[in-house]
Amino acid sequence: MSLVAKPKVLIVGAGIGGMALGILLHKAKIPFEIYERATVVKPLGTAMGFNATTAVMFKQCGIYDEFLAIAKPMSGVQVGNIHRTIDYKIDFSEQEELQVSSTLFGANGFIVPRPDICDLLARHIPKEHMHMGKKVIASEQSNDAVRLSFTDGTTAEGHILVGADGAYSTIRQHLYNQLKKENRLLESDAEPLPFSSICLVGQTKPLDPKDFPNVSLEESQIQTILGKGTPYSWSTFTTKRRTIAWAIGQVYNENRSTADEKNEEWGPGAAEAMCEISRDFPVISGGDKPVTIGDLIDWTPKELISKVMLEEKVFETWYDGRIVLLGDACHKINPAGGAGASNAIHDAITIANWIYALPPSPTTQDVEKYFAEYTKERLPKAKAAYASSVTFKNISSKSYLGWIAGFCFKNVPAWMNRKMMEGMMAYRPSVAFLPDAEDNGTVKPWPQHSLEARRIVKERMEAAASPSMT
C-alpha cells in the first residue's frame, strides 16, 4: 500500500492507554482505529488512582472538569489492623505543616472507579473509530505498512501498529515470536510472565451512609488492613458515587510463573471460594456497627466480582519496525503502588508526541528512530514505577521486607516525605501539539524529551514555507 502524509495508526486494545492514545491522535488529526477483542467493556476491577502526573493531559484535552465530576480527592493510604484501628498513614499529599500537593504539583490526587474512567475516555473517541469484538489472530508488517487479521475474517491495514492489549498482549506475542525466529529477542523477554500476588476484586452498589458512614466523607478513605493469622490483606476505597471498591490480596514469598499455574485455581468457582474464605475479615466503615468483607460481597453484584493474578514485569523490547507496545503490554506493574493507569497514559502521551513529530510519509527507519526515543524516555520511568510498586506490595507480604517497609512509612520524617513526593510527582508529561495547561505547582515539571516534537514540526513547517533557493 502507498504511504500518506500522516500515517494511519492501528491501536489494539481499548484499555486506559489505548483510549488515551486514541483521544490524543484524534486531537492531532492523525488517522487511527482502535480494535478491542471484547464485545462490550465490562465494569470489572476496583478503583484507580490518578494524580498531578496525569492532570496535565486531562487539562490539555479539555476533559479535566469531567474527570473531577467522577473523582474523589485522596491524600494517602491508612494502614490498619484486624481490630479496626489505624496504625499509620502513608501520606501522598503533605504533612500538615507543609503546603498541600495542589500547591506543590499543580493538582491533587484522586480515586476513580475503573468503569467511570473508561466511560469518560470512551466518550471522547468518535464511535466510528472504536471497533469492538475484533480479536486479532495475526499481525504482520512490511517495509511500508502493517496488517491485522481478525477471527471474523476481516483485516485492517495501516502504517503504525500499537499493542495496547494488556499483560498477555497478542501483539507482543506475535512481535516476540518473529524476533525469536530471527534470533533478535532478548532472553529475559522470552521468559514466562511471573506473578507474586493474587487478588479478589469488586465494587459495591451505592451505599447508604447509615450502613457505611465513610462514603459520605469528602476525601476518599483508602484503607489497607493487614490480616493477622492469615496470608491475606484487604483494601477498601470510597468513591464519588458512594460505592466501595474493594480488593483482597495474597502476596507470595517468591515469584510464580503464569505458565505453571493450575487451571482449577482460576475456574468459575475460584472467586466464590475466595469470597467464602474472606467473609469474616473486618472492615473500617466509620460507624459503630461492625462491617466485614462479607457485607461488601453481599452489596456487590456477583458479576462484578473477579479473581485475578497480579503479574509483574518490565519488558526490555518495546518496539520493532512499525510496531510498538504501550502500557501493560510492555510493563505490568503491581497495582499496590497505584501507578499502572498513570504510566499507560504517560506512554500514550509520549508515543503521540513522537508520532506527531514524524515527517510526511515516514519510512520504517523514521518510525523506528522515534520509537527508540519513546523507549529511551519511558523505560527508565516504568522501571522506577515498578520498583516503587514492589515497596508498597511488600507492606502486605507479611515478610521481613514487609516489616521494614511498614516501619519506614510509619516513621518517615516530613522532609523525607516531601522528597519522595517530589520524586513521584515532578514527572508531569505534556502533549506537544496541544496548548500548554496551567501548572502552578511550585515544584516545576522535569524536562520531557518528547516535547522536542514541537521544535521538529515547527522547523519543518518553516522550511516548507520558505522560498526555495535557486
How much is the average pLDDT of 223-239?
Answer: 89
268: pLDDT strictly greater than 60:
no
Of residues 63 and 426, more confidence is placed in 63
For 371, other C-beta atoms within 10 Å of its C-beta total 22
Average pLDDT over residues 396-401: 53
pLDDT confidence of residue 403: 47
Question: Rounded to a whole number, what is the largest CA-CA distance in the chain?
Answer: 86
Res 310: pLDDT: 84
pLDDT at res. 101: 55
Task: Give the CA angle between residues 461, 463, 464 to the nearest 5°.
Answer: 65
> 3-state class of 67 per DSSP?
helix
DSSP conformation letters of 240-303:
TTS-EEEEEEEEEEEEEEGGG--GGGGSTTHHHHHHHHHTT-EE--SSSS-EEHHHHHHTS-GG
* pLDDT for position 266: 46
Most confidently modeled range among 291-300, 337-346, 435-444? 291-300
* 208 Cβ neighbours under 8 A, 6+ residues apart: none
193-197, 199-203, 204-208, 351-355 — which is least confidently predicted?
Answer: 193-197
| 291-317 as b/e: b if 16+ CB within 10 A | bebebbbebbeeebbebbbbbbbbbeb
Q: Please report the pLDDT score of residue 402 as a whole number.
A: 52
pLDDT at 424: 75
197, 207, 245: which is closest to 224 by C-alpha?
A: 245
**In angstroms, how far is the first alpha carbon of the chain from the final one?**
35
- Indicate left, alpha or beta for 377 from its phi (over 0: left) and psi (-120 to 50: alpha): alpha
Share of the chain above pLDDT 70, in %: 85
Q: What is the mean pLDDT of the chain?
A: 88
Cβ count near 334 (within 10 Å): 26
pLDDT tens-place string over residues 32-61 = 999 999 998 776 667 899 989 999 999 999
Round to whole Å and give the CA distance between 447 and 173: 33
Instruction: Give residue 399's pLDDT.
Output: 53
Asked if the model's pLDDT at residue 267 lies above 60, the reply is: no
CA dihedral 180, 350, 45, 43 (to 10 degrees): -110
**pLDDT value at residue 401:** 47
Q: Which of 247, 245, 249, 244 is nearest to 230 (CA)?
A: 249
Give the CA dihedral 37, 40, 44, 48, nearest 10 degrees: 80
| Look-up of cell digits 515539571 | 445
pLDDT, residue 95, reads: 42
Report the distance separating Cα 316 and Cα 402, nearest Å: 28
- Residue 166 above 90 pLDDT? yes
The pLDDT score that the predictor gives to residue 406 is: 56
Residue for cell digits 467522577?
70
- pLDDT-wise least confident of 69-78, 312-321, 352-361, 366-375: 69-78
pLDDT at 1 over 60: no
Long-range contacts of 181-188 (CB under 8 A, 24+ apart): 184/320, 185/317, 186/316, 186/317, 188/316
pLDDT digits (tens, 9 = 90+) for 403-459: 445 555 556 666 666 676 777 788 999 999 999 998 888 888 889 999 999 999 999
Q: Residue range 329-346: average pLDDT?
A: 88
Q: What is the Cα 467 distance to its own chain's centre?
A: 47
Average confidence (pLDDT) over 164-169: 95
Domains and CATH numbers, the chain: 9-192+312-461 (3.50.50.60)
pLDDT number for residue 259: 54
Decide which of 360 and 4 is more confident.
360
Select from 168, 169, 191 the least CA-distant residue to 180: 191
Q: How far is CA 1 from the centre of its chain?
A: 34
Which residue, 309, 312, 441, is CA-closest to 385? Answer: 312
Q: What is the mean pLDDT of residues 90-95?
A: 62
Question: Per-residue pLDDT averaged across 134-147, rounded?
Answer: 96
Q: Is the predicted pLDDT of residue 468 greater than 80, yes or no?
A: no
Rounded percentage of the chain residues whose pLDDT exceeds 90: 65
Retrieve residue 109's grid coordinates: 490526587
Q: How confident is the model at residue 277 (pLDDT cuts 50, 70, 90)?
A: very high
pLDDT-based confidence at 194, cuts 50/70/90?
confident
